[in-house]
């Protein structure tokens, strides 16, 4: 079920059926999300030379765990089979209690995680903030004076960390002329339908001239704000994003495999959604968060930054359209907060990418998918119900 033939099989000469403008859509995404580097230019996030940090395994049988979602009853086994999942991993007590590969994925496959990248970049921001390299209260123009000529004038680093600038950015994924469509072109993911569109991400940022409300007034999901943040980090630390993620996060946390970003024609690594890594390395990233910023005895990010991320959001800024799936939710420091009282939080990406982190239960889960839809409240609610059911079963 939910399986597809390989759309590109190099052993069958000439067997190539991936349309350039729709490579990330169904049904092709079932193959492409595990093969992004075979389609687009990419840059390495080096794992470094050290050993991989330990991820002890203590597998538990969770197949029969049952749960209800969206008026239907499910088991975990049934959910994994029918939810377009490519990888599933659960961590409890610092151990892998479940690890599944579907749809041709393998432990060393780097899977596109879409906007999970934002939380990776956000964590690197936390690390550089801890070290005083970046000041979240500073104006963006302190680091990027070029933004004086854009609607980002007057916004702070924290505003883009929280996506609370007042800048107009139309995130509509399926529109042909939205800012998001322009970002797909600027990032190099798609060919341009319009010669006037920006040809790389920095030029797209410079083209944003309109405000829809004052900076700080409300949260609105704008992918480009992660890219603005990434350019701040690059400028402040004087290194390309992929090198920063390697040096500050992927290598010190003891990743098992290299990761990678897609890059635009100017060499910019797409911080808002171009990140690819293995299931286990996403799990290490989750474990680092579960452990308050430490992994394998190494301090990566401060407990203060983790606590601020979990508990420091202002839920009043969260809009009703976001409360549909996350009624007690918020957004802060490039993470989705599931429940600000509990301090459970998430990295999420379109087409079904999820890293769920619940330090209170010493539990995390990673789901990598290739849904047919960009977003689906039904699928998201079902995935969250599945994850909570596994959490409760393990706690029992």
Provide φ and ψ at 294, rounded to 5°. -120, 150
CA–CA separation, 164 vs 50, rounded Å?
39
387 lies in the site for a copy of itself, by CB under 8 A = no
234 lies in the site for a copy of itself, by CB under 8 A = yes
Question: Pairing mode, if any, of strands 85-92 and 111-112?
Answer: unpaired
CA–CA separation, 251 vs 394, rounded Å?
30
Is 73 part of the annotated catalytic residue set?
Answer: no
- Residues that bind a copy of itself (rule: CB under 8 A) add up to a total of 43
* Sheet (strand 85-92) strand order: 95-101, 85-92, 363-369, 353-358, 344-349, 335-339, 330-332
56 lies in the site for a copy of itself, by CB under 8 A = no
Question: Pairing mode, if any, of strands 95-101 and 85-92?
Answer: antiparallel
C-beta of 15 vs 66, nearer to a copy of itself: 15
**Which range touches a copy of itself (CB under 8 A), out of 36-44, 282-290, 359-367, 381-389?**
36-44
Token pair recorded at residue 94: 């610092």
CA–CA separation, 260 vs 269, rounded Å?
9
CA–CA separation, 87 vs 30, rounded Å?
12
Token pair recorded at residue 116: 């999970």
313 lies in the site for a copy of itself, by CB under 8 A = no
Provide φ and ψ at 103, rounded to 5°. 55, 35
Return the bridge partners of 337, or none: 330, 345
C-beta of 34 vs 158, nearer to a copy of itself: 34
Structure-derived torsion over alpha carbons of residues 96, 100, 101, 103, reported in degrees to the nearest 10 = -160
C-beta of 39 vs 307, nearer to a copy of itself: 39
41 lies in the site for a copy of itself, by CB under 8 A = yes
CA–CA separation, 319 vs 323, rounded Å?
7
240 lies in the site for a copy of itself, by CB under 8 A = yes
CA–CA separation, 4 vs 28, rounded Å?
9
**Which range touches a copy of itself (CB under 8 A), out of 94-102, 211-219, 236-244, 342-350?**
236-244
CA separation, residue 133 to residues 128, 165, 228, 333 (Å): 5, 22, 16, 16
9 lies in the site for a copy of itself, by CB under 8 A = yes
**Which range touches a copy of itself (CB under 8 A), out of 262-270, 308-316, 318-326, 327-335?**
262-270
Closest separation in Å from C-beta 335 to a copy of itself = 24
One residue of 121, 180, 269, 347 binding a copy of itself per CB under 8 A: 269
Active-site residue identified among 115, 119, 165, 246:
115
DSSP string, 109-142: --EE-TTHHHHHHHHHHHHHHHTTSS-TTSBHHH
133 lies in the site for a copy of itself, by CB under 8 A = no
C-beta of 203 vs 212, nearer to a copy of itself: 203
Closest separation in Å from C-beta 238 to a copy of itself = 6
- What count of other Cβ atoms lies within 10 Å of the Cβ of residue 389? 20
Question: Which residues in 178-217 contact a copy of itself (CB under 8 A)?
Answer: 200, 202-203
Token pair recorded at residue 161: 């960390």
381 lies in the site for a copy of itself, by CB under 8 A = no
Angle, to 10 degrees, between the axis of helix 303-311 and the axis of helix 116-130?
Answer: 130
16 lies in the site for a copy of itself, by CB under 8 A = yes
C-beta of 88 vs 202, nearer to a copy of itself: 202
- Contact criterion met (CB below 8 Å) for 186 and 203: yes
153 lies in the site for a copy of itself, by CB under 8 A = no
22 lies in the site for a copy of itself, by CB under 8 A = no
79 lies in the site for a copy of itself, by CB under 8 A = no
C-beta of 27 vs 78, nearer to a copy of itself: 27
250 lies in the site for a copy of itself, by CB under 8 A = no
Closest separation in Å from C-beta 371 to a copy of itself = 24
Closest separation in Å from C-beta 239 to a copy of itself = 6
Question: Which residues in 279-308 contact a copy of itself (CB under 8 A)?
Answer: none
342 lies in the site for a copy of itself, by CB under 8 A = no
SS3 call for 76? helix
User: Which residues of this chain interact with a copy of itself, rule CB under 8 A?
Assistant: 8-11, 13-16, 35, 37-44, 46, 49, 108, 110, 146, 200, 202-203, 231, 234-235, 238-242, 256-258, 260, 263, 265-269
Which residues form the catalytic set? 115
């Amino acid at each position: 079920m939910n399986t597809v033939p390989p759309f590109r099989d190099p052993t069958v000469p000439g067997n190539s059926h991936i349309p350039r403008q729709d490579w990330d859509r169904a049904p092709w995404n079932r193959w492409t999300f595990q093969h992004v580097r075979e389609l687009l230019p990419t840059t390495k996030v080096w794992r470094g030379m050290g050993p991989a940090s330990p991820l002890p395994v203590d597998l538990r049988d969770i197949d029969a765990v049952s749960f209800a979602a969206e008026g239907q009853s499910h088991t975990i086994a049934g959910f994994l089979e029918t939810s377009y999942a490519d990888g599933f991993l659960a961590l409890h007590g610092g151990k892998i209690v479940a690890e599944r590969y579907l749809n041709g994925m393998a432990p060393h496959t780097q899977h596109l995680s879409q906007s999970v990248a934002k939380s990776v970049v956000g964590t690197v921001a936390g690390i550089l903030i801890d070290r005083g390299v970046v000041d979240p209260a500073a104006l963006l123009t302190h680091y990027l004076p070029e933004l004086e000529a854009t609607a980002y004038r007057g916004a702070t680093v924290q505003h883009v960390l929280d996506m609370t600038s007042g800048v107009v950015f139309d995130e509509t994924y399926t529109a042909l002329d939205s800012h998001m469509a322009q970002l797909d072109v600027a990032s190099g993911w798609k060919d341009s339908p319009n010669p006037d569109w920006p040809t790389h991400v920095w030029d797209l940022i410079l083209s944003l001239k309109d405000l829809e409300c004052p900076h700080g007034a409300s949260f609105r999901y704008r992918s480009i704000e992660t890219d603005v943040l990434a350019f701040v980090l690059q400028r402040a630390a004087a290194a390309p994003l992929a090198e920063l993620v390697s040096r500050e996060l992927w290598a010190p946390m003891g990743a098992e495999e290299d990761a990678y970003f897609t890059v635009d024609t100017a060499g910019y690594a797409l911080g808002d959604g171009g990140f690819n890594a293995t299931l286990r390395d996403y799990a290490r990233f989750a474990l680092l968060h579960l452990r308050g910023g430490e992994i394998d005895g190494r301090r990566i990010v401060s407990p203060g930054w983790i606590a601020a991320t979990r508990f420091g959001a202002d839920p009043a800024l969260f809009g009703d359209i976001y409360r549909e799936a996350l009624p007690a939710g918020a957004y802060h420091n490039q993470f989705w907060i599931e429940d600000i009282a509990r301090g459970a939080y998430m990295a999420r990406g379109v087409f079904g990418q999820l890293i769920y982190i619940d330090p209170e239960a010493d539990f995390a889960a990673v789901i990598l998918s290739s849904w047919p839809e960009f977003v689906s409240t039904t699928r998201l609610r079902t995935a969250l119900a599945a994850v909570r059911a596994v959490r409760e079963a393990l706690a029992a």
